[in-house]
Amino acid sequence: MRSLGKGKKISPALLKAIEESRISIVIFSENYACSSWCLDELVKILECMQAMGQLVRPVFFNVDPSDVRHQKRSIGEAMARHEERFKNEMDKVQKWKSALHNLANLSGWHVKSGYEYDQFIQEITDEVCKKLNSIFMHVVDHPVGLESRVSEVTSLLEIDSSDGVRMIGIFGIGGIGKSTIARALYNFVADKFDYKIFIANVRENSIKQGLEELQKEILSEVLMEKGSNIHNVNQGIAITKDRLLRKRLVLLILDDVDKQEQLQALAGGCDWFGSGSRVIITTRDKHLLDVHGVDKIYNVKEFNDDEALELFSWKAFKRSKPEESWIDISKQAVFYGKGLPLVLEIIGSELFGKTIDEWECTLQKYKSIPNRKIQEILRISFDNLEDNEKAIFLDIACFFKEDKLDHVKHILNACGFYPNSGIRELTDKSLIAVKENRLWMHDLIQDMGREIVRQESPLDPGKRSRLWFHEDIVRVLNDNMGTEKLEAIVLDLPRQVYEVEWNNEAFEKMKNLRMLKVAEYQIGCFSKGPKHLPNNLRVLFWDDYPSSSLPPDFHPKKLVILELRYSRFALEQPFKKYDYLTHMDLRHCSAIKEIPNISQIPNLVDLSFDGCKNLVKVHNSVGFLSKLVKLSVWGCTSLKSFPPLVKLTALEHLDFRSSSKLERFPDVLGKMEKIRFIDVGETAIKELPSSFGYLIGLEKLCLTKCIWLSDLPSSFLALQNLKELDMGNCPKIRKCLRMFKKHGQVIEGLVTSILNLVLLNVKYCDLSDDDVFIILSSFHKLEKLNLSGNNFVTIPTCIKELLYLETLQMDYCSFLHEIPEIPPLLRDISTDFCRSLTKQSSNILLSQGLKEVKNLHVQVPGRGIPDWFDHRVKGGSLSFWVCGNFPVITVCSVFGGQEELWLDFQFNLFINGRRVYVFRNTYGVKLEHFTWLHDLRTDMSSKQWRDLDTYLHHDWNQVELSFALSKGTVNWCGVHAYKQETDMKNVLFTNPDSENWSMASDHFDEESEGYFSCTSDEDVEETEVEATSPQTKEGKEDEIMELKKTLGSWKIINLAKRIHHHVKLRPGFYGNSRNMLIMGIFIIISGGRANLFKHEFGIREGEKLLKASQCYFCSAAGLIAGALFISTEKVAFCDELVRKHQFVIPIEMIKKVNQGKKMNQPAQEYIEIITEYDGEFRFIGFLQYEKAWLNLLMAIS
């Protein structure tokens, strides 16, 4: 949104502000339509919404939305005056009417007299912020010319038609704005689809990741989960086509497609998608679209002169147009842009801040190539770079596009460049961009950079500065074509099996090679190692290096990075002097048995020998690397000892995890203040040395699965910075805890030394009640505590003194019987498999005290929903209704089985019929009943939580919660709204009848067609059930009032509204409503539903009535008002007093039941029962449809 500065001409300035805004808030009042100025603005807002996808939200301030929509009352009177005043400009008046109607149809706010305006303003502010943050993709900073192009493509989409599937192509040369248009289209139409998927950079990502990964990305958007099981493209096609997309309303945008197989794998045909879906494809190749059968193709136009000048001006002057004295020279510059947005941006950025003389000099260069390709114009920007920026630009163009910024900086630094200033300069000149900590470059720019390198020697790749195409590289290596001109080689071999035929002397001539990177996806592509490597190398990456040693004449004095992962390298000789080497990664080199003297590498920062399974000895020199920050010896399964840590004063990260034979932690021979993390989990360590206390900077220590560890030194108490301690699965560690106890008191040293511990994991440590008491009495600042799998019986009452404890895990504590108290901030509690826990303790964990605790998660034995929950129902699903913002809620379910089961549990959240969130987990349940309670925010990201509001499109939106198990049953479920964070006026746990009444009335007036084609006006009124002739309005009202007197406290009018809302009836509405009311009277007279059921149909021993619902039976004669009874033995129906339609269906005779559920059309919700003899019985107009359906399912199951 934009604001107007003081003194601007209001009308033009406001129209401009509207155009540049992302969202418009329209405030309709009683006198809104009196102003032609306001109506002109409204037309502009509608144009921006339709052309650019601008968000619009109306506010109806003391005016009925239908008055605005249909131009009635004060709005209609104002429009009548405009028709008289502008009778010669009726086109303008018609536009005003159309704008009023269309924008008043949008979801917004209805503010009535007496509303708290401060609260209302805050609601709007929150809503706008969430909409802006969650829906829009960033399109472009200056949307010049975008409106007309988006409008033209939108017309091809035919978005309002749900007939069939449309595939639309957007094509044009690189840099013309195809992706920009696609992103703008996404913003404009995405909210009209159930699933919207934008796959960017298909061309490049299909090469880097494979088409399978892009198929997974599509499926993850539809299924709202990661890790779809796709192992090849054909399998992905089958899953995508046959199982997931065919019945779904999908918007799929495939950006930058360049091969037919990409389209076949990602959008094979229109029959893949549900009717109404749209597929948008951007490409440089129109032939691809033709072959794929895309008949609606938009050819992106180049900018006209005015558009080009405006975009150029934004880059060159930071304004929409140049000053008068700069117009002529600006037009000269724009001429060379050839109407391409990207080129115009680059030229404008290049000239920004320069004098007219400098402009003329630059433009003089352009004049020498007036008719050459666009790449040659882009070359001008490259030629103006300094040598450092040129080298960085070419490296990024050839090797590092989309790589992580920090990784690229590290390599460029190693090569002797200055990446901080260089990358900043390239960004300023629009040659690259940094997004989400990755380097990005437009395809046209990348092509230009690579073409510069190719032109260095078009026919002889060995004479170029950089090689990246694997066929060129293999040719140079095989034919020994290398020269001194080669600076960098990055070889990414294809994923298929590929054996490289090469001359192992090929590197001898490459004297100036600074970077060599060989990344193999298939092991063994090189059968022999190199005889020579250039001594000028700064960076050497070679996965699966094929030799046990480096060449004997290799003396790279300036080598900075050495990575020989998964290779045959044996490290048999001591390293020569490598003063510049900072990073050495020899992970998974199984030939390495010993780390030799590395004292000649004094500047090592990062050293890794992970997975070197045959490593048995490490030289003492490792302990003297004073600049080492990270040392990782993970998974070295033959290593038994490690030399002392003597001068590792800079070390922050030390990892011995899974080195299963390591028996002793190395001695620490000096204070280590910078150490932050140590992991010795899954080792054979029996004790920690007394010098362990020198690790004074240590914040996180992992000792998990050190099954022989039985002692902690007293110096351990000195670790005052320790925050996280993981001792899980250390069965002998309880001895250490008992050492801290002296004469029944916890020793003071423990309390004062590690007082700040916030996370403690002691699961499966064979802990007793005394051990737990020591823990709870010692660590008063704990926030997370895991006591799972231990043998204690009772949680001591001192747990209430842990004032910061938020998470408590006690799973598999088979003897746990009592939890007498809980801490005040506890919000995540888990007691899976705690079979002995008392009902009283479970109740404490689900107590009223947790009612307003945020991010709550509880798993305990139990058979009931806490009574402080707002809404509780039997079965596995429930519904409630919300408006405004999505409420902050906790959900709960009770489930379990009769025997020990591993249950796959799934929770689904639907809004207006669309699944918007799914939670899955596996639980071990050894109980008859188990209660699961969960705050949705616990597992949702902040973006997922914000996105929930984007699915609320109506005044009242139906939210459905469903719980499902792989085994066992879901017995109960419930929902609770946090009152402190939720406006409860916007939450209803029953269908919002009064709100829907006015809506239903409008709908009823406009739609006279009955839902069932077999029912006519005459049919309804002539049946015996009606038994009345048409009455006057007064007569009907009298009869209703008489019924009201009879029913007393029953709210007849509300009941009639319910019936009206649930059933689309024709003029026989009053008669059917009358019969339904009479049915209600008869139920009361009979002594209630249960007595009526017993009297009319009888009841067998053990039979239980599950549900009695007032509804309508769809007979050949029309709709029959009555009651449907569902019991454990039968389904029965009886009409009102006449008793003509009364029947019984035994449960065993039911073959099938069907559900006709339409979230936005409750009038059409029905239940259909089909018997073994194919008899069909349909019921409609339930007052509590969901409960009737769930009880029917329960009966037949």
pLDDT of residue 1166: 84
pLDDT of residue 1006: 28
1014-1039 per-residue burial string, b: 16 or more CB within 10 A, e: under 16: ebeeebbbebebbeeeeeeeeebeeb
CATH of 388-454, one of 1.10.238, 2.60.40, 1.10.10, 1.10.150: 1.10.10
pLDDT at 1137 over 60: no
Percent residues over pLDDT 90 in the chain: 32
Helices (H), 1063-1178: 1069-1085, 1089-1097
Q: Give tens-digit pLDDT for 1141-1157.
A: 678 888 888 888 888 76
Q: Which residue would you say has higher pLDDT here, 803 or 524?
A: 803
Instruction: Give the DSSP H/E element, type plus range, for residue 433.
Output: strand 433-435
| Structure tokens that stand for 492 in this block | 């990414």
Percent residues over pLDDT 70 in the chain: 81
pLDDT at 5 over 50: no
Residues 30-40 have a mean pLDDT of: 86
pLDDT at 774 over 60: yes
| Structure tokens that stand for 1170 in this block | 């089909």
Q: Give tens-digit pLDDT for 532-545.
A: 999 999 999 999 99
pLDDT of residue 855: 64
Which range, of 280-284, 618-622, 1143-1147, averages the lowest pLDDT?
1143-1147
Q: Which residue would you say has higher pLDDT here, 515 or 523?
A: 515
Instruction: Give the DSSP H/E element, type plus range, for residue 223.
Output: helix 211-223
Phi/psi for 1127 (5° steps) reads -125, 180
Residues 669-684 have a mean pLDDT of: 96
Instruction: Give the DSSP H/E element, type plus range, for residue 227.
Output: none
Residue 2 binned pLDDT confidence (cut-offs 50, 70, 90): very low
Q: Give tens-digit pLDDT for 713-762.
A: 888 878 889 999 999 999 988 877 765 554 334 444 444 455 689 999 99
pLDDT at 1174 over 80: no
Average per-residue pLDDT for the chain: 80
pLDDT at 1135 over 80: no
pLDDT of residue 132: 57
- The third-level CATH classification (topology) of the domain covering 146-299 is Rossmann fold (3.40.50)
pLDDT of residue 851: 55
pLDDT at 393 over 70: yes
Residues 311-331 have a mean pLDDT of: 90
pLDDT at 1080 over 60: no
For the entire predicted model, the pTM comes to 0.58
Which range, of 703-717, 841-855, 893-907, averages the lowest pLDDT?
841-855
Residue 542 pairs in a beta bridge with: 518
**Domain formed by 994-1196, architecture:** Roll (2.30)
Same topology, domains 10-134 and 146-299? Answer is yes
pLDDT of residue 918: 87
Residue 796 binned pLDDT confidence (cut-offs 50, 70, 90): very high
Q: Give tens-digit pLDDT for 55-66.
A: 788 988 888 888
What torsion do the CA atoms of 1063, 1069, 1074, 1077 make, to the nearest 10 degrees? Answer: 20
Name the active-site residue from 19, 20, 30, 41.
Answer: 41
Q: Report d(CA 1008, CA 960) in Å as an integer.
A: 30
pLDDT of residue 994: 41
Reference 664, options 631, 612, 711, 720; nearest CA is 711
Instruction: Give the DSSP H/E element, type plus range, for residue 294.
Output: none
Q: Which residue would you say has higher pLDDT here, 164 or 1117?
A: 164
Could you tell me what percentage of the chain is helix, strand and coil, using 3-state DSSP and rounding each to the nearest 5?
35, 20, 45
pLDDT of residue 991: 78
Concatenate the DSSP letters of all residues of 3-44 into one string: -PPTTS-HHHHHHHHHHH-SEEEEEE-TTGGG-HHHHHHHHH
In one-letter notation, the amino acid at residue 864 is: G
| Structure tokens that stand for 435 in this block | 């997004």
In one-letter notation, the amino acid at residue 178 is: K
Reference 606, options 628, 625, 580; nearest CA is 628
pLDDT of residue 151: 86
Phi/psi for 354 (5° steps) reads -95, 160
Reference 933, options 946, 947, 919, 953; nearest CA is 919
Q: Give tens-digit pLDDT for 240-280.
A: 777 666 778 889 999 999 889 999 999 988 888 888 999 99
pLDDT at 1196 over 60: yes
Instruction: Decide if 41 is catalytic.
Output: yes
Q: Give tens-digit pLDDT for 335-377.
A: 877 788 888 888 898 889 889 888 888 887 766 543 344 576 5
Residue 562 binned pLDDT confidence (cut-offs 50, 70, 90): very high
Residue 853 binned pLDDT confidence (cut-offs 50, 70, 90): low
Residue 1052 binned pLDDT confidence (cut-offs 50, 70, 90): very low
Which range, of 38-52, 488-502, 1161-1175, averages the lowest pLDDT?
1161-1175
Residues 669-685 have a mean pLDDT of: 96
Instruction: Map out the domains of the chain as residue ranges.
Output: 10-134, 146-299, 304-384, 388-454, 456-559, 839-988, 994-1196
Which range, of 160-174, 353-367, 500-514, averages the lowest pLDDT?
353-367
* CATH class entry, domain 10-134: alpha beta
Q: Give tens-digit pLDDT for 202-239.
A: 988 888 888 988 988 888 777 655 556 787 888 888 88
Residues 659-666 have a mean pLDDT of: 95
CB 733 within 8 A of CB 710: yes
